[in-house]
Structure 1
Amino acid sequence: MAATHAKAQSSRGVTGAVGDLLGLSLLLVPLALAAVPGAFAGGGTRRWFGGRGENQRADAQAAKDAAAAAFYELDTAQRDLRISIETITAVDSSPGARRAVEDFAALGRRIDEVSHAYITAVDAHDLDRDDLESSVAARARTELTRAKDDLVRVKGELDRFEQGLAPLLDKAETQLARLAPAVERARQALRNASTALDSVRGSGLRADDLAGRLAALAPELTKLNEGAGRHGVPETLHRADRVLRDAEAVRAEAERLPERAAETDRRLVSLRTRAQALDTRATTVEPVLSELRRRFTAACWQDLQHVPEQALSTVRQAEEKLQEAAKARQEQRWPDATALLSTVRALLNATDEAVSAAGERLRRLDGVAKDPQQEIDRTRFAIRDAQRLAMAGRHTPDPRHARPLDDAVARLERAVVGLEGRHPDYWRFLTETAAVRDAAARVVELIRDERGRGQG
């Protein structure tokens, strides 16, 4: 159009032609600017295909950006959750923890699938091409939107899985939080035990058994120092607790050892004195037996006739054990010394009871021989007390209560009859009355137990 216009004006002068060209150029500049948007604004050389096409490109780019954001969020969530899973597996080997690992692996496979679909959609469409067709842009937007939706859906599954994982994770984090303090407490306990043992040895006590127990903990300390990475968190926690407990026991025993030594010395002196006293008391049994033989029937004393010999023999055994205990104390074999002293005490207790029994037998027989009525009245009172309790709140007694009480009355009467005669068996009388009182006491206990349970 510019060439035709110039030929029609050929008869005009140079000045007019130049003026026409200048005017034409001024008319053409706005048309050029309208035809090529951004030509003077520094834009690229992208092909123009109209406003609708540009909107399609913008929509596709927005879909691409949204998909990229969804991909980033899913990838970040998966990385964070993987750390949580690793935390759980480091601590927990329960079925629940193993199931969580399997579920996370299944989620990972779905994440791989939707991530691959996203990457494929991105690689399939170059939205920066100059010759991008609007149909291609529309298809890209559709595929990228679908990829974004899939990424968001799987991210939702991941979020729900993470919520269900909270109890396991809390438990694992709690154990991990315990790990370092537990190990440090175990180490400190070992140091305290070692210090206590050194102090005891400085006072002249060997404490060889405690030293051996402390030395046995050295391999455990080595494993603690190797860390949970090698031995696992649960095992390390158990080991730390075990070392703490054993080391504390060694420390406590080491601190008590001087007192234990002093107590052992006191017991040696006390039991030796007691053995000497019993040795003297044992010689008094024979005169008591002579008195029993002279005044009472054989049934009243024949079970005591071997007490003098047995008492002297038991005292000799106790003295031998005391010598062994003293030797164990000298050699600082504390468990042996303690066991031997306990044996000595048991022997002396048995001797004391046997020696006392002879004198107590004579005292009781003297009492009943002078006045048997006191023993009779004491026994009848026990029976009557039981009878009153059996009849409380009732018109007739329960046969389970009445029968043993009737038997007790009859038994007491037979014992009283047995006192008649020239040489009554007072010891049999005393054992019978004691048995009758025991029978009455059992009935009382039965009644109270039944009423306590609401049966009476």
Structure 2
Amino acid sequence: MTATPAQPYSPAQPHSSSAPRTHSALRDTLTLLALPLAAALALPAAFAGGGTRRWFGGRAENQRAEAQAAKDAAAAAFYELDTAQRDLRISIETITAVDDSPAARRAVSDFEALGRRIDEASHQYINAVDAHDLDRDDLEASVAARARTELTAAKDELGRVKQDLDRFADGLGPLLGKAETQLARLAPAVERARQGLLAASNALDAVRQSGLKADDLAARLASLGPELTKLNQGAGAHGVPQTLERAERVAREAEAVRVEAERLPEKAAEIDHRLVSLRTRAQALTTRAGQVEPVLSELRRRFSAACWQDLQQVPDQAVENVRQAELKLTEARAARDAQRWPDATALLSTVRALLNSTDESVSAAGDRLRRLNAVQKDPQQEIDRTRFAIRDAQRLAMTGRNTPDPRHARPLDESVARLDRAIGTLEGRHPDYWHFLTETEAVRQAVARVVAQIRDERGAGH
């Protein structure tokens, strides 16, 4: 509302137009006391005649009082609506500061439409007040009655708009609650971001005092400087949702820097330990790789070529892997001395992978000889182990059935035939024991897949 009406009539404060009447009455009274009795007795007749308005009573005065009451009621309705509109504008501004959703934009549009209705009702009220001077001495009863009618109509319209405004305010509850929640989170979130940056900076200072550089962490912390500037500029410049998201992100990244900085001395000690441990392991593998050649010699002497040909490159490959591992260890030591922690960690991971591969290949030669010795001495143990797995699967396939499911019986029958063929390879002057071992292992794996299939199907059916 932009216009402000005249102050409502208050009986406790007489209007200025009543002052002359009061002074005139006092003067006439004093004159009456001074006149002779006959003249005084004749005076009331003079007051009763003429066109002067009566002071008290009469239809005009009643209409004036009713019009004044209507004016007071309209003024009260006007100010009540104005106060509600002001309060609601604060709520709308709270929502728009936080929320840019379609629902929020619709609320703003609806509030503007209500504002236009409020302006129309206010103009109707102000026009009614300005159109009638209820303090005129010569106010006619018909004029007072018309004033009362127009003022009452203005009051009723103000009341109807106030009811619509109240219903609109009630509907804003969810949007306003969400906005107030975000605003309540804003200040603590910004403060957490500031405290997080301070804690990260203090942690970096402590690390540097211990002799560690932590340049990468310092760079990450410095990159948050512009974000802190925007936080200090406030939500008014960048919006509440954006400021809230920025504060949470800054706090999260600052916390990560702080944690890594505090862990840096531990990481340096861990890298030192891994350097020593992996170098010791590389030296041990060098010794073990030298033992592969005698194992291969025995394999060549006692078993067919198929049992050892795939192991021929193990000694040379082991030596090359250990050499590469030692070179990477040297690079890792240089990276650690330069405090390039990510580089040092990556190089040590490469060294570990090389040594693991070498360990497996060196162990494979000795494991091959052990298994071939066992099967050459007693192949029946491997045969019995495999047959037991097949029979166990066959019993499972027949459980609760008169005939097995072809989907289960077929692979089990094929496994029996495959085992028989593998046993057949043991005949002859130079049995291929390694082929026999790989075949029996493959048969057991096929049987295990059938067992898993049966159990899955029964489990689903159950």
Q: Same fold (TM over 0.5)?
A: yes
Matching of residue 133 in structure 1 with residue 140 in structure 2? yes
Give the secondary structure class of the aligned counterpart of 2:213.
coil
Aligned residue for 1:420? 427
Aligned residue number for residue 320 of structure 2: 313
Distance change (3 Å), C-alpha of 1:277 and 1:94 = same
How far residue 396 of structure 1 moved from its aligned partner, in angstroms, is: 1.1
**What is the CA distance between 1:451 and its match in structure 2?**
1.3
Matches within 5 A, 1:30-429: 47-48=54-55, 50-429=57-436
Distance 2:54 2:363 in 1: 126
> How many Å separate the matches in 1 of 2:36 and 2:72?
48
* Letter aligned with residue 256 of structure 1: R
Letter in 2 for 1:401: H
CA contact (8 A) 1:47 1:131 kept: no
Q: Which has the larger radius of gyration?
A: 1
Alpha carbons 1:114, 1:151 under 8 Å: kept: yes
* Alpha-carbon distance between aligned partners in 2 of 1:170 and 1:387, rounded to the nearest angstrom: 67
Q: Distance in 1 between matches of 2:399 and 2:318?
A: 50
The aligned length equals 426
Partner Cα distance (2:73, 2:400) in 1: 91
**SS of the residue 1:453 aligns to:** helix
Contact 1:47 1:130 in 2 (8 A): no
Q: TM-score w.r.t. structure 1 length?
A: 0.91
- TM-score, scaled to structure 2: 0.90
Supply the distance in 1 between the matched residues of 2:310 and 2:53 (Cα, whole angstroms). 129
Q: For 1:305 and 1:229, how far apart are their aligned partners in 2? A: 74
Please, what is the CA RMSD of the aligned residues? 1.7
1:232 partner amino acid: G
In the TM superposition, residue 317 of structure 1 has moved relative to its aligned partner by 0.3
- 1:137-156, CA deviations, whole angstroms, 9 ceiling, x for partnerless residues? 11011100110010000011
Deviation at 1:418, TM superposition (A): 1.4
Deviations for 1:183-237, whole angstroms, at most 9, x for unmatched residues? 0000000000000000000000000000111111111111111111111111111
Q: Distance in 1 between matches of 2:340 and 2:72?
A: 82
2:14 corresponds to? none
Runs of at least 5 residues in structure 2 that lack an aligned partner in the other structure:
1-34
| Bigger Cα displacement from structure 2, 279-288 vs 377-386 | 377-386
Q: Which amino acid aligns with 2:426?
A: L
* CA distance in structure 2 between the aligned counterparts of 1:368 and 1:139, rounded to whole angstroms: 122
Gapped runs of 5+ residues in structure 1? 1-20, 37-44
Output the CA distance in 2 between the equivalents of 1:181 and 1:35: 80
CA contact (8 A) 1:300 1:428 kept: yes
- The answer for the alignment partner of 2:12 in structure 1 is none
Q: Is the 8 A contact 1:196 1:255 kept in 2?
A: yes
Q: How far off is 1:261 after superposition?
A: 0.1
Q: Deviation per CA, 1:30-72, whole angstroms, max 9, x where unpaired?
A: x579969xxxxxxxx9644853222111111111111101100
Distance 1:375 1:46 in 2: 134
Q: What CA distance in whole angstroms lies between the structure 1 residues aligned with 2:402 and 2:417?
A: 23
Q: Pick closer, same or farther for the CA change 1:450–1:34 going to 2, 3 Å.
A: farther
Is the deviation greater in 223-232 or in 332-341?
A: 223-232
Moved more, 352-361 or 412-421: 412-421
- In structure 2, distance between residues paired with 1:357 and 1:46: 129
| Distance (whole Å) between structure 2 residues aligned to residue 315 and residue 46 of structure 1 | 125
